């Protein structure tokens, strides 16, 4: 099966975590969000990374292609299968949706289109807000391998993104469907240099930032609120002669 | 460069990186369909066409040398000047097909020193 060879190739190249992506496009009618496939169903045994003793880790990811504000309502629904995915990404198609995604939506990743000219320009305020919230921007590299027009769009869109966000919070990922379209982690980090990232940002785009996204997804799954205790200011104790010390009230409500 | 005061030495102590230097890459090309025979000249032409596709005529004019080439495993050691290193590496990464056949370049090792390509310092293996 070509999928198992994909994971083998990933492990051979040195990747320790792979995310399986489900893309939901709301333009088509009646899209229901399916439950994520559990990794143990796909492969009986995961390939082991050469050089380490652990097998690769597979996480699940959902990408929502939104072209209308009503499509974002599914993110707020509490009963859908969205909660079961590890990472949630959104692919905004208009400028308003990009702004909403950066400021309000509860997602981990915002995908940047690489197969067409950007339908909108990036502006600094929403991008900075997204960076403060811990949201990352994603650039794909596999379309650049297939076709030369895509190469131009990838590089130009990535360059404009990096100019606005100053290199922070960018990840580069592949949308590979075949093992031949995968490239090693250092090769991808080198592509980051081509997109205008600095050397440390390019390496982080393949390693540190991706881990931060996984942790961001975990916080979204687990914490819904925080309880903390606050010390109440104590009133001044007055001398009590009526009761001996052991019988005095020890706690105050 | 460290000044005398920082190190407490009598003489100034300077460290300088190696200047117009070369970078060396150990690469191998994969053709999944198999049955492809490339001699050294074709391999060089493959690299030049990859550079031309991504970086144009200026990229294709980058001086790249194929130091060794093994026809059976389709692997080679390349040398490129350090200024063109990123261009060459990115061109090899983004190469998708050659003469209508799908291929993939795998860069195994890179180093500014040729001697380092004979061993793998991560796993401490010497060929």
Write the pLDDT tens digit of every residue in B89-118: 999 999 988 888 888 889 988 999 988 888
Going by the DSSP 8-state scheme, the letter that residue B73 receives in this structure is: T
**For range A241-253, the mean pLDDT:** 58
Residue B104 to residue A148, Cβ atoms within 8 A: no
Min Cα–Cα distance to chain A from B123, Å: 7
Asked if A88 and A116 touch (Cβ cutoff 8 Å), the reply is no
Residue B47: pLDDT above 60?
yes
From A112, A213, A104, select the one nearest A162 (Cα to Cα): A112
Q: Per-residue confidence at B18, pLDDT binned at 50, 70, 90?
A: low
Q: Do strands A170-173 and B119-120 pair parallel, antiparallel, or not at all (unpaired)? A: unpaired
Residue with tokens 């002669």: A241
Mean pLDDT over each residue of chain B, to the nearest integer: 83
Min Cα–Cα distance to chain B from A234, Å: 55
The structural domains of chain A, ordered by start, are 65-221 (3.20.20.140)
Residue B7: pLDDT above 70?
no
Rounded-to-integer distance, Cα A66 and Cα A92, Å: 5
From A66, A182, A55, A80, select the one nearest A119 (Cα to Cα): A66
CATH number of the B22-112 domain: 3.30.70.3250
- Give the residues across from A20 on adjacent strands: A60
**Tens digit of each residue's pLDDT (9 = 90 or more) over A93-121:** 999 999 998 998 888 999 998 888 888 89
Which one of A183, A195, A197, A198 would you mutate to disrupt binding with B, by most B Cβ within 10 Å of its Cβ?
A183
**Tens digit of each residue's pLDDT (9 = 90 or more) over B22-33:** 999 999 988 887
What's the pLDDT score for residue A110?
93
Q: Per-residue confidence at B17, pLDDT binned at 50, 70, 90?
A: low
Q: Per-residue confidence at A197, pLDDT binned at 50, 70, 90?
A: very high
Asked if B79 and B92 touch (Cβ cutoff 8 Å), the reply is no
What's the pLDDT score for residue B15?
60
Lowest mean pLDDT among A235-239, B6-10, B67-71: B6-10
Q: Which tokens belong to A156?
A: 């130009």
- Give the residues across from B68 on adjacent strands: B77
**Tens digit of each residue's pLDDT (9 = 90 or more) over A6-26:** 888 888 888 888 888 888 887
Asked if B74 and B31 touch (Cβ cutoff 8 Å), the reply is yes
What's the pLDDT score for residue A69?
85
- Which chain A residues have any C-beta within 8 angstroms of a chain B C-beta? 51, 141, 144-148, 151, 180-184, 186-188, 190-191, 193-194
Contacts of A185 (CB under 8 A, 6+ apart): A13, A14, A15, A206, A207
Min Cα–Cα distance to chain A from B40, Å: 23
Q: Which tokens belong to A234?
A: 């104590």
- Measured between CB atoms, does B2 come within 8 Å of chain A? no
């Amino acid at each position: 099966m070509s999928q198992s060879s994909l994971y083998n190739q990933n492990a051979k190249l040195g990747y320790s975590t792979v995310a399986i992506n489900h893309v939901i496009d709301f333009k088509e009618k009646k899209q229901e969000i399916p439950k994520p496939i559990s990794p143990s169903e796909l492969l009986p045994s995961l390939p082991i990374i050469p050089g380490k003793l652990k097998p690769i880790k597979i996480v699940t990811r959902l990408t929502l292609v939104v072209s209308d504000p009503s499509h974002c309502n599914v993110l707020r629904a509490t009963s859908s299968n969205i909660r079961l995915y590890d990472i949630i990404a959104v692919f905004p198609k208009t400028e308003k949706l990009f702004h909403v995604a950066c400021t309000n939506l509860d997602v981990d990743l915002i995908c940047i289109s690489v197969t067409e000219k950007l339908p909108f320009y990036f502006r600094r305020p929403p991008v900075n807000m997204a960076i403060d919230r811990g949201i990352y921007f994603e650039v794909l590299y596999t379309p650049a391998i297939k076709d030369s027009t895509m190469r131009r769009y990838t590089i130009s869109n990535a360059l404009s993104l990096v100019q606005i966000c100053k290199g922070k919070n960018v990840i580069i990922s592949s949308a590979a469907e075949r093992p031949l379209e995968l490239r090693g982690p250092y090769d991808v980090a080198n592509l980051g240099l081509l997109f205008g990232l600095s050397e440390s940002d390019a390496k982080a785009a393949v390693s540190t930032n991706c881990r931060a996204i996984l942790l961001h997804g975990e916080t979204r799954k687990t914490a819904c609120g925080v309880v903390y205790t606050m010390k109440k200011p104590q009133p001044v104790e007055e001398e009590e002669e009526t009761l001996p010390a052991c019988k005095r009230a020890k706690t105050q409500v | 460069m460290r000044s005398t005061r920082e190190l407490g030495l009598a003489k100034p102590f300077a460290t300088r990186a190696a200047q117009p230097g070369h970078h060396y890459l150990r690469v191998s090309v994969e053709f999944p369909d198999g049955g492809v025979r490339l001699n050294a000249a074709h391999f060089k032409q493959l690299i030049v066409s990859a550079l031309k596709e991504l970086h144009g005529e200026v990229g294709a004019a980058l001086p790249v040398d194929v130091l060794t080439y093994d026809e059976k495993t389709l692997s080679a050691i390349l040398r490129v000047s350090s200024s063109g290193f990123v261009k060459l590496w990115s061109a090899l990464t983004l190469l998708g097909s050659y003469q209508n056949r799908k291929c993939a370049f795998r860069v195994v090792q890179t180093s500014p020193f040729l001697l380092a390509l004979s061993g793998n310092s991560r796993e401490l293996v010497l060929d």
